[in-house]
Amino acid sequence: MNQEQAVTMIQADIPLFIWGDPGGGKTQWARGLANAAGFDRGAHANLQTGRVVSWHFHTETLAQCDASDIGGIPRDNGDYIVRKPLKWLHDLCVEPGLLFLDEAPLAPRMNLAASLRLICEREAGDEKLHPETRVLAAGNSSAFTGVDLMPQVANRFAHTEFDEIVTLTQWVEGMLTGFPPIRVAPLPETWQSRILTHRALVASFVAKMPTEAFRTPKEAVELGRAWPSRRTWDLAARASAACEAAGIRDDALAISSLVGTGPALMYVGWRARQDLPDIEEVLANATTWPLPEEEDRLFVILTACAAAAVAKHDLQKWAQSWILVGRAAKMKKPDLATISARVLVAHPPPGGKTPKVAEELIPILRASAETQRPPI
């Protein structure tokens, strides 16, 4: 994973774990990223919207604190007991910032366990981190520390080697001519509209090959890095959406940083074989575009069209997506049509009324639900 991909992952709110030898420059790179992205204290532009806000950067070494420092210290609120975070965590709750967890593998297990909610649910005691606060962590491999990262912690991060972010050639040039500031190209404001399409792809792949998609490593070292779970596959869809929005054509490294190299390459290869059409073209020709008979391709196309219609709040695209759903149901694919229909029903655009095709689908969808209902 190169520097551009790493910065994209952080912008997309995917926690990133950087592995490297002691003295490699991980902490300095994190601070450089903070300065470039406006995470240091002072007035800077929001990394995604350009809005001027106050950011800050904090480094915390989990081995040097108590579990209660992370999970919150009990305090009497008068009526009940609340868990109050320390000031550095409180600051990250009330304003955007970059939290850098250094030397994480060396932390006591109780501290790592306390950090799980902080990393994933973004909760600090009884407070929540600011929605624009990002999490970055770093550590040395077990060859230096003698311990591996807990699987529960590892599975909450994307993983990369620092030597891939800053190569030896870049370091040598920096030593000779000075290290250039890290470039942060903000993601488009609409990048999240692409997530549902990539979730559809991931879901179709996992449904097709569940034993390959969820092959959990047996070795402790591998469990302390990237491996496939429902959480990391969901993050992989988010990573693919961010890479696409950032103009990064090859997202294989970003995906493998979350689910591991084997599952990532298998997924990327499967995705390439789907030969998916331009979704905008499909929507524009909803009544005539030839729908595929293959269920996995049809599933991805239907959900991608529904996602595009919902994300853009476009009444015309919403109606066109309904036409595709109706055609799929009449192809005796009601189970696939049901998923997209639910998305469209739940997110109508302004002025959107349930079209006639949706009313015609109700008996078909109800019959599909009855056949899928488990016996009592």
- Mean pLDDT is lowest, of 89-98, 103-112, 335-344, for 335-344
- Mean pLDDT is lowest, of 29-33, 49-53, 151-155, 183-187, for 49-53
Tokens of 370: 């009855």
Report the candidate in 177, 143, 225, 170 with the shortest Cα–Cα distance to residue 29: 170
User: Hey, where are the domains in the chain?
Assistant: 3-186, 188-273, 279-372
Helix/strand number for the chain, H first, E second = 20, 10
Pairing mode, strands 123-124 and 81-84 = unpaired
Which pLDDT score, from 0 to 100, does residue 374 have? Answer: 45
Beta bridge pairs of residue 127: 124
Report whether 97 contacts 130 (CB < 8 A): yes
Residue with tokens 């942060």: 184
Which pLDDT score, from 0 to 100, does residue 44 have? Answer: 47
Distance (Å, whole) CA 34 – CA 40 = 6
Rg (CA), the chain: 23
- pLDDT tier, 366 (very low <50, low <70, confident <90, very high otherwise): low
The tens digit of pLDDT for each residue in 256-268 reads 999 999 999 999 9
The tens digit of pLDDT for each residue in 326-342 reads 888 888 777 778 778 88
Looking at per-residue pLDDT, the higher value among 154 and 188 belongs to 154
| pLDDT of 23 over the 70 cut | yes
Report whether 205 contacts 240 (CB < 8 A): no
The tens digit of pLDDT for each residue in 198-245 reads 888 898 888 888 888 888 888 878 899 999 999 999 999 999 999 999
- pLDDT tier, 42 (very low <50, low <70, confident <90, very high otherwise): very low
- pLDDT tier, 364 (very low <50, low <70, confident <90, very high otherwise): low
Residue with tokens 């591996």: 148
- pLDDT tier, 176 (very low <50, low <70, confident <90, very high otherwise): confident
Report whether 87 contacts 126 (CB < 8 A): no
Report whether 125 contacts 71 (CB < 8 A): yes
- b or e along 70-105 (b: 16 or more beta carbons within 10 Å of the residue's beta carbon)? bbbeeeeeeeeeeebbbebbebbbeebbbbbbbbbb
Report whether 139 contacts 61 (CB < 8 A): no
Which pLDDT score, from 0 to 100, does residue 266 have? Answer: 93
| pLDDT of 250 over the 50 cut | yes
Residue with tokens 């009544």: 287
1.10.10.60, 3.40.50.11540, 3.60.21.10, 3.40.50.300: CATH of 3-186: 3.40.50.300
The tens digit of pLDDT for each residue in 286-307 reads 999 998 888 878 888 888 888 8
| pLDDT of 279 over the 80 cut | yes
Distance (Å, whole) CA 159 – CA 138 = 9
Question: What strands, in cross-sheet order, belong to the sheet with 42-45?
Answer: 42-45, 52-61, 97-102, 134-139, 16-19, 158-161
Which pLDDT score, from 0 to 100, does residue 119 have? Answer: 92
Which pLDDT score, from 0 to 100, does residue 278 have? Answer: 83
Pairing mode, strands 158-161 and 16-19 = parallel
Task: State the average pLDDT over residues 179-193.
Answer: 82
Which pLDDT score, from 0 to 100, does residue 226 have? Answer: 94
Which pLDDT score, from 0 to 100, does residue 267 have? Answer: 94
DSSP sequence for 262-289: HHHHHHHHHHHHT----HHHHHHTTTTS
Which pLDDT score, from 0 to 100, does residue 230 have? Answer: 94
Which pLDDT score, from 0 to 100, does residue 9 have? Answer: 94
Report whether 41 contacts 55 (CB < 8 A): yes
Report the candidate in 36, 6, 35 with the shortest Cα–Cα distance to residue 18: 6
DSSP sequence for 121-155: T-EETTEE--TT-EEEEEE--HHHHS-PPPHHHHT
